[in-house]
Amino acid sequence: MNTLNHFETPQLELLHRGKVRDSFRAPSGERLIVVTDRLSAFDSVLETPVAHKGAVLNGLAAFWFDKTRHIIPNHVISLPDPNVTLAQEAEPIRVEMVVRHYLTGSMWRGYQQGQRSFSGVAVPDGLTKHQQFPEPIVTPTTKEESDREITPENLVAEGWVTAELYEQMRVKALELFNFASQWMAERGIILVDTKYEFGLRNGELLLIDEIHTPDSSRFWSADDYARNPEAAEQMDKEYVRQWLIAHKQDGQYPRALTPEVSAEATRRYLDIYERITGAPLPVASSTNDDMQARMVRNLVRAGIIQDA
233 phi, psi to nearest 5 deg: -65, 135
**What local confidence, expressed as pLDDT, does residue 288 receive?**
63
pLDDT at 232: 87
Instruction: Print burial letters for 254-288: b (CB count within 10 Å at least 16), e (below 16).
Output: beebeeebbebbbebbbbbbeebbeeebebbeeee
* Domain definitions of the chain by residue range: 13-90+254-301, 92-240
pLDDT in tens, 142-169: 988 778 999 999 999 999 999 999 999 9
Query: pLDDT at position 39, please?
Result: 93
The answer to whether the Cα torsion of 59, 62, 66, 69 is positive or negative is: positive
> Could you tell me how many residues make up the chain?
308
Q: Please list, in sequence order, all residues whose beta carbon lies within 8 angstroms of the beta carbon of residue 127, skipping any fewer than 6 positions away.
A: 103, 111
Q: Do residues 180 and 218 make contact, with C-beta atoms less than 8 angstroms apart?
A: no
Q: Does the domain at residues 92-240 carry the CATH identifier 3.30.470.20? A: yes
d(CA 30, CA 15): 11
pLDDT at 24: 97
Q: How many CB atoms lie within 10 A of CB 73?
A: 15
Tell me if 31 sits within 8 A of 18, measured CB to CB: no
Pairing of the two strands 44-45 and 31-35: unpaired
Residue 277, CA distances (Å) to 81, 152, 183, 213 in order:
18, 34, 10, 12
pLDDT given for residue 307 in this prediction: 85
Q: Which string of DSSP letters, residue by residue, matches 4-72?
A: -S----TTSEEEEE-SSEEEEE-TTSSEEEEE-S--EETTEE-SS--TTHHHHHHHHHHHHHHHTTTT-
Longest Cα pair distance anywhere in the chain, in angstroms? 64
Cα separation of 172 and 177, whole Å?
9
| Among 7, 29, 31, residue whose Cα is nearest residue 20 | 7
Supply the pTM of this predicted model.
0.92
- Which pLDDT tens digit goes with each residue over 172-215? 999 999 999 999 999 999 999 999 999 999 999 999 999 999 99
Q: Taking the chain (308 residues) in consecutive chunks of 10 residues, what is each chunk's mean pLDDT?
A: 88 94 95 96 90 96 98 98 97 97 94 97 97 98 88 98 98 98 96 97 96 93 95 83 92 94 93 94 72 94 90
**Amino acid, single-letter form, for residue 14:** L
pLDDT value at position 286?
A: 58
What is the predicted pLDDT for the residue at 43? 79
Those residues whose C-beta lies under 8 Å from the C-beta of residue 90, and which sit 6 or more positions away, are 75, 199, 200, 201, 206, 208
Domain 13-90+254-301 sits in CATH 1.10.10.10: no
